[in-house]
A and B are shown apart, each in its own frame.
Chain A
């Protein structure tokens, strides 16, 4: 496997959806190509950091205000009868 081929398969590898043969070829490539190993490792870390970051968490007080506003509007909508919003 060449470096360009590794890059094509990287997303499927990280998602765990590669067939066994391609996965073995890719892991063999990673065992000797340091640059691709670093790209693979840091891409995986990028995903994990974003996934675990709790970026843009909805604070409980705002959450409850929004939910209450949503339900009030839904009930008003119900009284008016079906129509497009």
Chain B
């Protein structure tokens, strides 16, 4: 069992060339930056807001804010990390507006009881994702990640879905490296535990169980 492989976003040197051209007023260079990162920003925004319209707004607002503040970007970090920080802040603002009754912050005190310790140790079926259609699988994954606190799912998405390094994630979220590591571990373990309800090896060995439907999200999953 080895380490997981991360996705790699385009070369940094090309990114810097585009940023410098955009700073000089070349809008086609900025448009190229939009093309390069719009899918990432949309994915991050939808993971955080869990709402498609909000995610579309976040994409527009994040790029517009980046465009307007490009002169302030110091080029000491990657443009992408800077853009992600803007997008995460915009997404969290959307979430706060939509759920004013809930505290939504990356800094909120996340309860420290052992809610991430593995309770369910049963093994999964081989290739568990193949037990479901693509649409069913997407629903399962979406419902499952919705059940995590925003601070956990944001760290998980940046690190494990988008492939940012721990340091880049810490910079983008203005968190310490140990805080990112701690949240990442707990996010991974909680997702594992919840997915296990769908992916566990069945006693009868036929994989897909008629008892588990994607609509039957286990309690605590899905918050809208």
- B196 and A74 contacting across the interface, CB-CB below 8 Å: no
Q: With both chains docked as a complex, state the minimum distance between the C-beta of A2 and any C-beta of chain B, in angstroms.
A: 13
B135-173: CB near A (< 8 Å → 1, else 0) gives: 001100110010000000000100011010010000000
Task: Given A15-B166, A73-B64, A85-B65, check contact A55 B142 (CB 8 Å).
Answer: yes
A41 within 8 A of partner (CB):
yes
Segment among B54-62, B73-81, B105-113, B207-215 that sits at the interface with chain A: B54-62
- Complex contacts, B161 vs chain A, CB 8 Å: 50-51, 55
* Contact, CB under 8 Å: B47 / A56: yes
Residues of B within 8 Å of A56, CB to CB, are 42-43, 46-47, 55
Given contacts A50-B160, A55-B142, contact A42 B123 (CB under 8 A): yes
- Residue contact B121 to A14, C-beta cutoff 8 Å: no
A63 to B40, CA, bound (A): 12
Question: Across the interface, do A55 and B192 meet the contact criterion of CB distance under 8 Å?
Answer: no
* Residue on B nearest A57 in the bound complex, by CB: B39
Which partner residue on chain A sits nearest B30 by CB separation? A74
Q: Is the CB of B68 within 8 A of A77?
A: yes
B4 touches A44 (CB 8 A): yes
Contact size range, A: 35 or more
B122 at the interface (CB under 8 A from A): yes
From B8-16, B91-99, B182-190, give the one contacting chain A. Answer: B182-190
The reply to whether B56 and A66 form a contact with Cβ atoms under 8 Å apart is yes
Residues of A within 8 Å of B142, CB to CB, are 55
Are the C-beta atoms of A16 and B3 separated by less than 8 Å? Answer: yes
Instruction: Report chain A residues within 8 Å CB of B68.
Output: 77, 82-85
Interface string of A22-38 (1 = CB under 8 A from B): 00000000100001011
A56 — nearest CB in chain B belongs to which residue?
Answer: B46
With both chains docked as a complex, state the minimum distance between the C-beta of A5 and any C-beta of chain B, in angstroms: 13
Report B-chain residues with C-beta under 8 Å of the C-beta of A73.
Answer: 60, 64
Q: Tell me the nearest residue of chain A to B45, going by C-beta.
A: A56
Return chain B residues, CB-CB under 8 Å to A49. Answer: 128-129, 137, 141, 195
List, in ascending order, chain A residues with CB within 8 A of B67's CB.
Answer: 70, 74, 77
Q: Is the CB of A47 within 8 A of B4?
A: yes
Chain B residues in 8 Å Cβ range of A71: 27, 30-31, 34
Across-interface contacts of A10 in B (CB, < 8 A): 185, 188-189
**When chains A and B are docked, how far (Å) is the Cα of A43 from the Cα of B185?**
10
Q: Determine whether A61 belongs to the interface, using a CB cutoff of 8 Å to chain B.
A: no
Q: Check if B64 sits within 8 Å of A70, measured CB to CB.
A: yes
Could you tell me which B residues sit within 8 Å of A by CB distance? 1-4, 7, 25, 27, 30-31, 34-35, 38-39, 42-43, 46-47, 55-56, 59-61, 63-65, 67-69, 71, 117-118, 121-124, 128-129, 137-138, 141-142, 145, 156, 160-161, 163, 166, 181, 184-185, 188-189, 191-192, 195-196, 199
